[in-house]
Structure 1
């Protein structure tokens, strides 16, 4: 399965899905693979894993993923607050949890997904049937947080009071705007570091006060120092 916009890392491949703000990905666990550190990213994933289908809610800290060699994963990752519209449940009901899809969807529909010969096509068809247009305010919130704008400025730009912004963010992303901003800043920092940028440059570009702030925040969210995420 190839795609002109695919990103390949080892046995992992991702590409733009046929829905806005959604990434499709697949992975096969190779022999001798150590546990995978999964960083928080402000997204929800709908995952097919060897015939089981489940929702991976938005994480507040890194999780260690383990699976047997040869296990196959096919999934959709919903960014910009699009997941709750497809699943019909607020994101904060899934924060830091993995929930079987049949807990929120009819068993017959989930069984059809689990038995699909092309899991990605089946997941995309499922999402398309249930698709709701993204909330423009939440798309703007995600973009503002990713750009490092202050939470107050994001609220003003979206015409939301701080309390309203907090409630809408929790429902769309699983946590409030400050946590979302920290997590998206972490994603930016890790991407810059993996691209070979010096850590001092990473801290300034990603919006940290200094390199010590970068180190503390990465360790708090990822559980390991930044250098261990780069190798």
Structure 2
């Protein structure tokens, strides 16, 4: 009996490792596809053909995720009052298409500003970097920790997190540094990055230091932006 139990435990352990590896492989494929889309080196039709099956595979792969009743605010030490615009009116999704990559139009996002008058990326009150937090449990499907001022990419150092329980994606851009990679399972409130000024426009002096936060639904298997303002204003501060 003891031998059978050991064999069963070993089998379950190996199976869990295989599932995790499968999910990581899928995430790496999505990451590469996202890079190709971002750099406009793949046609929209080809990208759409590849994207949907990958998301379906990832959704079917068991991951450790809990659907919470509310989000955690994506900036530690901050809340809804840091969201730019009057009642979040900086959000505008008209004309946006994920498959336009870096050439996309509109601003399907909320800019969340930190206190940083001298634009050094450090909070004026705490004198520390501001942590970027995962709004809910999920798995990292794409990210980049590389950006230089010569780059024309607008998102700078970014992270895409897929939340299987909600079937949505959250997006965090302009980070100074990121601490996750494709395939990493993240928990709600986990530090995934630090706020920065990376990205074509975010790097310029005219831009106050902020996190660019977006959310996308996947009801049609493709990323379609939705306004997450209500989720943000009702989220828990950390």
| Band the TM-score falls in, shorter-chain normalisation | under 0.3
Relative contact order (C-alpha < 8 Å, sep 6+): which is higher? Answer: 2
Which structure has the larger Rg? 2
TM-score, with structure 1 as normaliser: 0.25
More helix by share: 1
